[in-house]
Amino acid sequence: MSSSAPPRFQSRIDHHRSLKEAKKLSSTHEQDPSAWTTDDAKELYMIDRWGRGYFDVGSEGKISVSPLQERGSKISILDVVEAAREQGLRTPLLIRFQDLLHHRVRTLNEAFIRAIADVKYRGVYRGVFPIKVNQLKEVVEEILEAGKTYHYGLEVGSKPELFAGLSVHTDNESLIICNGYKDENFIRTAMIGRKLGKKVLLVAEKLSEVRTITRVAREMNVEPMVGLRVRLMTEGAGKWASSGGEHAKFGLSTAEILAACNILAEAGMSASFKLLHFHIGSQVPDILIVKRAVREATRHYAKLRKMGHKIEYMDVGGGLAIDYDGSRSTFHSSMNYSVEEYARDIVHNIADICDDEKVPHPNIVSESGRAIVAHHSVLVVQAFGSIEKTPVTPIDIQAEEHKLIQTLLETRDNLTASNLAESWHDILQVKEESQKMFELGLLNLDVKARVETLYWENAEKMALLAASLSEEEAPEDVVQLRTQLADQYICNFSVFQSLLDHWALGSLFPVVPIHRLNERPAADSTLVDITCDSEGKVSKFIDLSDVRDTLPLHGLNGEEPYYLGIFLTGAYQDIMGDIHNLFGRVNEVHVFLDSDEECGYYIEETIAGNQIREVLGLTQYDTPGLIARVKAQVDGAIKQDLLKPTEGMRLLADYERGLKDQTYLSF
Ligand SMILES: *Cc1c(COP(=O)(O)O)cnc(C)c1O
C-alpha cells in the first residue's frame, strides 16, 4: 500500500506529546486541555481520601504535612528534604513527624473516652501501644509522652520487647501487656515489673505458661497479674485473617480456659486472673467482624464473671485498620469505618452483653499499633532514570526493507479503530515470526532492532487509539498494553529494606511525587528499586475501585532531582526490612512543629543510615580484616611491579574511605 518512501519516524518526544494529548482529550473532554491545577493532582492521587487531613498540596505543587490536622501549621516535605540535604543526609530519607504521633494517640484515646461517656459505660479505657509495630525508642517514648494523661501503656510480644518496655515505662497506672510465648526468663522479668509496682499482665498463650507463672510468682513472692487469650470462632478478614478462628496459632480453647482457672485456683491465685484477651489479626477492614468478635469474647467474659472470676479488663487486641487506598471499603487495603465508630462499637457491644448478662462492665484495653504509627512517617526516594520500551531516537527507513518491517510499517500507517484488533494480531505475529527467524540465524541484529522498534511504536499507537474508544469497542488485550508500555522509573531505595509488606504481602501504599503537582503528569509508570532482584519493584498502586498497575508520573528533567513520597509507612516497615543486597537502613530525620521557627518546624534529630562497613560487619566482614586483606593484595601488586608504591597506598586509602560511604547510590 505504501510503496512510496515511508514517512520518518516520530521521535519519542512527539509520541509522549501525542499520548498526553490523547489522555487529556479522553479524560477532560470539553475543558481546556492544558489546564491542570493542584486540585487535579489531589484528585488523581486521592490525597484527601487517604491523607485524612494530614496531607495536602500547596499552590506551588508541593505536598505538605499538617501533623495536627487543621489545628497546626503545615510543613512542606520538599523543604524538609532540602534541609536534611544541607545537613548531609540525602535520599532515601525517612521523615518522622513526631507531632503526628501525638495526634494519633489523642485521637484514639479521645474516641474511647467519648464513647464511654455517650454509653454511660462504667469502666475506663486503658489502651496500650504494641511495640512490635515500631520499636524505635524515640517513637515509643513520643507515644508514651502523648498518652500520659490517658495512662496509655505498652504491649510487648517477646523478651527483648519486654526489656525495652520496662525501661521506658514510668506511669504505674498504665498497663504493660505481655503477649506471645513465654519462657521462665520472660516471666521473671515481668515479675521485676510487678515488684516495681507496675501493672504487668502476663497473657498466657498455653496452659504450661500458667503453671510456670504460678511457680515463679511463688518463688519471687509476688502477686502476678494474669490474662488469658481466648481463641474465638470469629475470623478476621483480609491478609491477616488466620490470626483468629479455631485454627489460630494463639489462644486457649474454652476447655483450656477452664483448666487454666483450675491451675490458678490450685495455686491459690484465682484473684490473679485479671484480663481476658483476643486478637483477630491486623488490618481488619470490616467493622462487622470487629463487632462479632467483641460480642463473642464478651460472652466468655460474662460467663467467667458469673463463675466468680473477678476479671477487670477486656482486651480487644489490635486490628484497627488504616485506609491505605482511601476507598473506605472492605478491600484489604482499606476499612469501612472510622476510629470513632470503632471505639463506639466496642464500648456499646461490651456494655450490651454485660447488661444482658448482668455482670459489671470491665475496663477496656485495645492494642492498636498500625492505627497509631502508620501516618507518621514518609519515605522519600529519588527517581533518577527510566527504562523505556519505545526508542528514544528515530531510525531511518531504508528503501529495501525486510518483509517483516514492511508489514509493520503498513500496519502502522493504516491503523483505524475498525481494524484495531486485527492490526494488533498482525504485529503479534510479526514479533513471533521475527523471534523464530532470529533463533534460526536468519535475522541480523539491525533488522531485529528495527522490528522491535516498530513493534513498540505500533503498540503505543494502538494503546492510544484503544484509550480513546469506549469500553465496549476497545479490545481488552490492547487496553492492557498500556501497562506493558509503562516506563519503569528507577528509584534509589530497596523494597526489601523499606517496603517489605509490598513485596511479601502485596500491601498497597500511596506513592505520590512530593513536588511538581502543579504540572500534569506525562506518562504511566511503574517503579523499580536498585537491588538486583527482579522482585524489587512497585507495580501495584492504590485505586478507588481496584488496584492500578501503573502510576502517572512527570517526565525527568535532566539533572533536576525528582522525588517520590511513599506514604503511610510508619507501621511495621521500619523493623521488618532486611539488608538484601546489603542495602542498609536509610537516613532518617525527626521533625517537630515549633511556632518560634520561621519555617514552623525544626529537625530535632538526624540519624545517618548504615555505612558500607556497618552492613559488612553484620555479615562477618570486620573493617580491619577487610583493609588488611586488600592491603596484602596491594603489597603483592607492588612487589610484582603492577603498581607503584604511592599509587598503591592511594588506592588503599580510597578503599578505606569508600567503606564509610552510604550503601545507597549518591548523586
Ligand atoms: C500485632 C499485634 C497487635 C497490633 O495489631 P495492629 O493491627 O497493628 O493494631 C496487637 N495485639 C497483638 C496480640 C498483636 O500480635
- Tens-digit pLDDT profile for residues 264-274: 999 999 999 99
Mean pLDDT of 146-155: 98
660 CA → ligand 1 middle, Å: 38
Specify the ligand 1 atom closest to the Cα of 243: 15
Which residues fall within 8 angstroms of residue 590, CB to CB, at 6 or more apart? 96, 98, 138, 603, 604, 605, 606, 607
Specify the ligand 1 atom closest to the Cα of 317: 11
Indicate if ligand 1 lies below 6 Å from the C-beta of 367.
yes
Distance set, CA 385 to CA 16, 187, 203, 394, 637 (Å): 16, 53, 51, 20, 38
| Whole-number pLDDT of residue 7 | 33
131 CA → ligand 1 middle, Å: 9
Tracing cell 476507598 back to the chain, one arrives at 327
Mean pLDDT of 644-661: 97
CA–CA dist 494, 506 (Å, integer): 16
Instruction: Please give the torsion angle defined by the CA atoms of residues 485, 490, 493 and 499, in that order, rounded to the nearest 10 degrees.
Output: 0
Please write the tens of the pLDDT for every residue from 589-617.
Answer: 999 999 999 989 999 999 999 999 999 99
**Residue 491 annotated in active site:** no
Set 354, 491, 532, 599: catalytic member: 532
Indicate if ligand 1 lies below 6 Å from the C-beta of 317.
yes
pLDDT band at 485 (very low <50, low <70, confident <90, very high): confident
| Whole-number pLDDT of residue 479 | 82
305 CA → ligand 1 middle, Å: 26
Q: What is the mean pLDDT of the chain?
A: 91
Indicate if ligand 1 lies below 6 Å from the C-beta of 214.
no
| Whole-number pLDDT of residue 394 | 66
pLDDT band at 391 (very low <50, low <70, confident <90, very high): low
pLDDT band at 32 (very low <50, low <70, confident <90, very high): low
Indicate if ligand 1 lies below 6 Å from the C-beta of 320.
yes
Is residue 450 pLDDT above 80, yes or no? yes
pLDDT band at 33 (very low <50, low <70, confident <90, very high): low
Specify the ligand 1 atom closest to the Cα of 282: 7
**What is the grid cell recorded at 468?**
480513546
Specify the ligand 1 atom closest to the Cα of 572: 8
Is residue 28 pLDDT above 60, yes or no? no
CA–CA dist 363, 431 (Å, integer): 69
Mean pLDDT of 165-182: 96
Which residues fall within 8 angstroms of residue 302, CB to CB, at 6 or more apart? 353, 354, 356, 357, 359
CA–CA dist 618, 156 (Å, integer): 26
Phi-psi region of 158 (alpha: psi -120 to 50; beta: other; left: phi over 0): beta
594 CA → ligand 1 middle, Å: 32
Is residue 8 pLDDT above 70, yes or no? no
Q: Count Cβ atoms below 10 Å from residue 299 Cβ, excluding itself.
A: 16
Question: Greater confidence, 240 or 272?
Answer: 272
pTM of the model: 0.90
Distance set, CA 391 to CA 331, 336, 429, 432 (Å): 39, 45, 21, 20
**What is the grid cell recorded at 37?**
491545577
Given ligand 1 and candidates 279, 569, 572, which is best to mutate, with the most ligand atoms within 8 Å of its CB? 279
Contact indicator for 140, 115 with CB cutoff of 8 Å: no
Which residues fall within 8 angstroms of residue 443, CB to CB, at 6 or more apart? 434, 437, 451
Mean pLDDT of 533-557: 93
| Whole-number pLDDT of residue 31 | 52
282 CA → ligand 1 middle, Å: 6
370 CA → ligand 1 middle, Å: 8
SS3 204: strand
Contact indicator for 225, 272 with CB cutoff of 8 Å: yes
Specify the ligand 1 atom closest to the Cα of 284: 7
Is residue 10 pLDDT above 80, yes or no? no
Bridging pattern class, strands 601-607 and 587-593: antiparallel
Q: Give percent above pLDDT 90 in the chain.
A: 81
Indicate if ligand 1 lies below 6 Å from the C-beta of 279.
yes
Tracing cell 520496662 back to the chain, one arrives at 166
Please write the tens of the pLDDT for every residue from 14-23.
Answer: 334 444 344 4
Distance set, CA 285 to CA 342, 375, 398 (Å): 11, 17, 60
pLDDT band at 414 (very low <50, low <70, confident <90, very high): very high
